[in-house]
Amino acid sequence: MTSLTGIQKDSFIDDGVLVLPKFFSEGDCDSLRKRMGQLLDDYEPKGNGTVFSTTDSTHHEDDYFLTSGDKIRFFFEDSVVDSEGASLELSLNKAGHAMHDLDPVFSSFVRQPKLAELAADIGFVDPLLLQSMYIFKPPRIGGEVVWHTDHPFLWTDPPSVKGFWVALEDATIENGCMWCLPGLHRDRPRQRLKRSKSGGLEMETLDSTPFPTENKIPLEAEKGTVVVIDGLLPHWSGPNTSSRSRHAFTLHLIERSAHYSDDNWLQRSPEMPLRGFAD
C-alpha cells in the first residue's frame, strides 16, 4: 500500500474514518510487540502504579500522567487489583506518550515513508507526530473506552488532530474492537479537556447532547490493519470479555501550522520539541 485512491480519500472526507487492511506486515506488528516486551522487561513499577481509566478521571490529577507527554510511561487497568499476580502485559492498560521519538524501534515504525504518504493523502501539509500509545487491552480485564472524540484532548485551532490506529493483533467485537459513528465528525466538539489553574485537569462541557449511538458500527480489524480516524469522529470500545488480548498502537498527528493550545494536557519540554516524519 503506497497511497489512497480517490474513492478512499472521498470516503474519509464523508465518513471521518477509513479502514486499511494489510497496511503493515505481520513482521512489522511482531517487531513492535517484541520491542514493547523488552521495554516491559526493563520497567519496574513503583508502588501500585498509575491507573488509566476513561470511566474514572482520577488519573488526570496524577503527575505521572500529566508529565508523560515526552516520556515512555506505563498505566494500569483500573480492575487490576482483581488480578493479583498477573504479568505486566496482562495488567497494563497502555504505554505512552512519546515512544515514537524516544525509542528507535517505534521511531522507525512510524517513520516508514508509507505512513508519511498516508498523512499527506488525508490532507496533512506538514504534520507533527504528537502522541503515541501502545494499548494492551488484556484478556478479561481490558476496560471500556467511553464515547469520545480526540480533538478535545489534543486541541488545535483550527482542529487538525487525526489518529492512526494499528491492529497489532486481530481486533474483534469479542476482544473489544473500536466502534464509531461515521459522518458525525461534522458535529462541533462537545467538550474540551484543559489544564486547570490548580495544576490538575478539568473537562469543559461545550454541548451536553449525548452522541446518537444507535447506528454505531464495529471496526473489526485484522492484524496489520490501519484505521484512520478524524479527530472529531466519535468512537468507543467495549471491554475485552474474551480470553485473547487486543494489542494496538496509535499515533496522533496535528498540523504544524495549527495553534496547539498551551493548556492542553500533553505538553513537551523545550528540550524535546515535536517533530515531523522527516525531522
Q: Does 150 bind Fe ion (CB under 5 A)?
A: yes
Q: Which stretch binds Fe ion (CB under 5 A): 101-109, 145-153, 193-201, 266-274?
A: 145-153
CB neighbours of 221 closer than 8 A, spacing ≥ 6? 19, 21, 165, 167, 170, 171, 177, 178, 227
Point out which span in 98-106, 116-124, 147-155, 170-178 binds Fe ion (CB under 5 A): 147-155
**Cβ-count burial of 271 within 10 angstroms (0-12 exposed, 13-18 middle, 19+ buried)?**
exposed
Q: Give 130's contacts (C-beta < 8 A, 6+ positions apart).
A: 154, 161, 252, 253, 254, 260, 266, 274
Of the listed pieces 30-38, 46-54, 146-154, 257-265, which binds Fe ion according to CB under 5 A?
A: 146-154
- Which CB atom, from 88 or from 175, has the smaller least distance to Fe ion? 175
- Give the max Cα distance, the chain: 52
Distance CA 53, CA 153 (A): 14
Phi-psi group of 41: left, alpha or beta (phi > 0 → left; psi -120 to 50 → alpha; rest → beta): alpha
- Write the binding mask 103 to 142 for Fe ion: x where contact by CB under 5 A, - elsewhere: ----------------------------------------
CB of 221 to Fe ion, least distance (A): 15
Considering the complex, state which of residue 128 and residue 161 has its C-beta at the smaller distance from Fe ion. 161
* Residue with Cβ nearer Fe ion (20 or 227): 227
Binding segment (CB under 5 A) for Fe ion, from list 113-121, 143-151, 203-211, 269-277: 143-151
Instruction: Write out the binding residues for Fe ion, residues 174-233 only, by CB under 5 A.
Output: none
Binding site for Fe ion (CB under 5 A): 150
